[in-house]
Amino acid sequence: MSLSNLSVQQLRKAANLKEQIDNLHKQLAAISSSTGVSAPSKPAKSVKGKMSAGHIAKIRAAQKLRWSKFRAGKSAAKTAAVKPGAAPKKKGTISAAGIARIKAAQKARWAAIKAAKAKPVAKPVKKARKKFTMSAAAKAKLSALAKARWAKVKATGKKKL
């Protein structure tokens, strides 16, 4: 990719990255010289890669020219599609008969939905469960067991259940 095809923003970003790399090299050299390790050799200090205002203006003009050619191509393609002397065709219009058909179909759909809601849906009847009842003998047996446990607790003198 050549530099002439880059936008101004891309060129500025590239220049900023170059400056960051140079700063990192300087920091590395400073660290390595303080520890006694020799720093990698670097070419003589160069002038910052700052573009002149005239060069930036040339780049902007070239970019504007590219966009104007692009936009001109789009508008030419649109006008070529339309026949000369013919009125542009309207889009998105529906005839009255078409609208009437749509309305009738919609009313039929809503009528079907409302009719389905009006019918009560029969829920299945659950069988009633028989209530659990304990016989008198079972109650007496449980009562006797409980009394025996309490008698044992009282005999040991502890209040533990």
Contact of 11 with 3, CB cutoff 8 Å: yes
Q: What is the pLDDT of residues 131-148, one digit of tens each?
A: 888 899 999 999 999 999
User: Strands, DSSP E only, in 1-117?
Assistant: none
pLDDT-derived band of residue 54, with 50, 70 and 90 as boundaries? very high
- What is the chain's alpha carbon radius of gyration, rounded to the nearest angstrom? 46
- Per residue in 97-108, pLDDT tens? 999 999 999 999
Output the CA–CA distances (angstroms, integers) from residue 50 to 4, 25, 32, 53, 55, in the order listed.
16, 19, 29, 9, 10
| Higher-pLDDT residue of 41, 140 | 140
Report the alpha-carbon distance of residue 3 to residue 27 in Å, rounded.
Answer: 29
pLDDT for the residue 7 = 84
pLDDT value of position 40: 56
